Amino acid sequence: MESVRQQIEMLRRQLHEHNYNYYVLSQPTISDFEFDRLMRQLMDLETAYPEYHDPNSPSVRVGSDVNNNFIQVTHRFPMLSLQNTYSEGEVADFYNRVKRALNEEFEIVCELKFDGTSISLVYEHGRLTRAVTRGDGRKGDDVTANVRTIRNVPLVLNGNDVPPYIEVRGEILMPWSSFDALNKERAEQEEPLFANPRNAASGTLKMQDSRVVASRKLESCVYSLLGDDLPARSHFDNMTLARKWGLNVSDAMRRCSTPEEVFDYLKEWDIARKNLPVITDGVVLKVDSLIQQRNLGATSKFPRWSIAFKFNAEQAVTRLESVSYQVGRTGAVTPVANLDPVLLSGTTVKRASLYNEDAVLALDLHIGDMVYVEKGGEIIPKITGVDKEARFLLGDKVAFTRKCPDCGTPLVRNEDEAAYYCPNSEGCPTQIKGRIEHFVTRKAMNIAIGPETVNLLYDKGLIRDAANLYQLRFEELAGLERWGETSANNLLESIEQSKSVPYERVLYALGVRFVGETVAQKLAQAFPGIDQLAQATVEQLVAVDEIGERIAQSVTAYFADPLYCDFVRRLRQNGLQFTLSEEALAAKSDKLKGLTIVISGTFELHSRDEYKVMILQNGGKNSGSVSKNTDYILAGENMGPAKLEKALKLGVKVIDEQTFLEMLQ
């Protein structure tokens, strides 16, 4: 047994070292394959010998599906905010205030202000024991399990000079690459997009499933050490030691002796930040000496020894080369600007969204224009303006295409819509493949194939719509290039499992225009079988809560089309669920009829999605915001403070999940 324990500890040491080399130093010394082999060996031993469990084992990086109910923790050292400045004049004022107050020589440390979610990491005897969010500055949420999945947060610090107790302050960040990938996935699932990487990082850190947290590839960057026994009296020197211990400290940190050096730093990084893989919105200036920091003290809100200088919103200027057009699964045609490559927010931008014809006309775009590009929550950046004074040898004015770029069909535009559509839904390859890709997504039928496989199967003539998936044969799949028996069996098994997907998700998977996930749930509750829905009139559909005229007309048009009716018929023949389950029918009631309920916070007994379904099943209405029409707020842990404040102001009753469940009994 002793030899097993020694082997486990040796593997842990090796993996900690390789994590540090890869995620902090960016200098891996072994291949990914070899790293995975060592990790699997460790996890097998830990499973076989649970008595050697260690919460800081490298194996916790993969996360767990254990539900984490966050508890509030009081910060030993309050997490104060910083006063923001926006000009060199304000920075000079800060420098002069410090100079007058100290009346002695001092140095300023400049470091980049990364735009993430603040975190406090507690290390005792070199081991991570707790990770707490900023919260209100006095108390925050314990998110230790989630932070342990972040690869460049060391679970065990290196070195013999680490104090027995130390708090490390920093930011949890989502790199632009991870943010773009996450929003792309959410767009495909028709889920709301995150507005920016900061919101995405914050939302991820508060998730209940640490496996999902691990998959989103968050990073950390630390900027401060706190404790009673710090090794140095200089902030800069302490952070240099922190880097040696294995913590991720920005290489951009610089110690400055004069105001001119500070201003040089600000100018340098206002340009250089465009190369960074993470978002930064400014520079933090700190007096370097910890003794001088204590002498300067703090106001009730801000330390007097530090300020934040905020950059202007980042944008780039580049030339418009051409405009191309993309076709979506519903036939909507979207213009995309093709640009001279330009660096923006850590990535090279070559394309930008133009949304629709109205947006193109409002910009008065011409080929060759110098355009302003910004990167916000969009999957691809957007053009926000044109430098008309820079026009020279101007090209043609951009005119919106009148034909489908894929199949050449003349486009149509409804009077009340901004988008143009290709009406050739059954003959336009991009639309056909787009509908199949939607059908197989996780929130629809959850069939384990991506766009590349859909393209392959379509190009090989094996599928022409989603119903053809259920006729695929093993021999056809195993014979495809780079496929084999395992890949073929996996796909066929996934297709077979999709036959148990409930009715409301099948309805969503059909891809009826304007019928998203929530609308599909409402329609399934109102019309428990597909035959009832197919025979429903516009008037009957509009009578369903939140189903408007546009959605109703889209649904009736879908089931009036013989091609779509045949598509549904073939899916039914293959065993898909087109009625509500007996369990769902049994749960239907009018107990919440006429009630509007807002869900906020995290829950122990059921997930937020499960509560949303319960509200619909019992005749209630889900709402995302509090208003005078809200009847109840179903509140869990960490309820949004803005919602609580508005609820109290409007007199909306706040109930917990136990009370809500009792209402349904």
In whole angstroms, what is the distance from residue 129 CA to residue 83 CA? 31
Output the furthest CA–CA distance in the chain (Å, rounded).
86
Closest C-alpha to 62, from 45, 39, 44: 39
113 is known as an active-site residue = yes
Burial of 56 (0-12, 13-18, 19+ CB in 10 A): middle
SS3 161: coil
CA distances from 191 to 187, 362, 382, 485, 607 (A): 6, 28, 20, 34, 17
Q: Where are the beta strands (DSSP E) in 8-85?
A: 72-74, 83-85
Residue type, 622: N
Q: Where are the beta strands (DSSP E) in 125-250?
A: 127-133, 139-141, 165-173, 219-226
Catalytic residue (one of 99, 113, 593, 653)? 113
Burial of 27 (0-12, 13-18, 19+ CB in 10 A): exposed
Q: How far is CA 624 from the centre of its chain?
A: 18
The CB-side HSE value for 478 (13 A sphere, CA atoms) comes to 6
In whole angstroms, what is the distance from residue 186 CA to residue 180 CA? 10
- Could you tell me the two tokens for 59? 């194996």
In whole angstroms, what is the distance from residue 630 CA to residue 621 CA? 10
Task: State which H helix or E strand residue 321 sits in.
Answer: strand 315-327
Q: Kindly list the strands in the beta sheet with 280-287, ordered across the sheet, starting from the edge strand earlier in the chain.
A: 83-85, 306-310, 280-287, 108-114, 254-256
In whole angstroms, what is the distance from residue 370 CA to residue 630 CA? 48
Task: State which H helix or E strand residue 393 sits in.
Answer: none
In whole angstroms, what is the distance from residue 607 CA to residue 650 CA? 27
Q: Are 337 and 371 in contact (CB under 8 A)?
A: yes
In whole angstroms, what is the distance from residue 503 CA to residue 245 CA? 54
Q: Are 108 and 262 in contact (CB under 8 A)?
A: yes
Q: Are 509 and 524 in contact (CB under 8 A)?
A: no
According to DSSP, the residues that pair with 403 across neighbouring strands are: 410
Q: At what angle do helices 608-617 and 657-664 cross, to 10 degrees?
A: 30
The length of the chain is 665
Residue type, 198: R
- Could you tell me the two tokens for 331? 């036939």
DSSP output for 455-488: HHHHHTTS-SSGGGGGG--HHHHHTSTT--HHHH
CB 283: neighbour CB atoms within 10 A? 25
Phi, psi of 298 (to 5 degrees): -150, 155
CB 528: neighbour CB atoms within 10 A? 19
- Could you tell me the two tokens for 215? 């998959």
Phi, psi of 184 (to 5 degrees): -65, -45
- Could you tell me the two tokens for 576? 């898909």
**Known catalytic residues?**
113
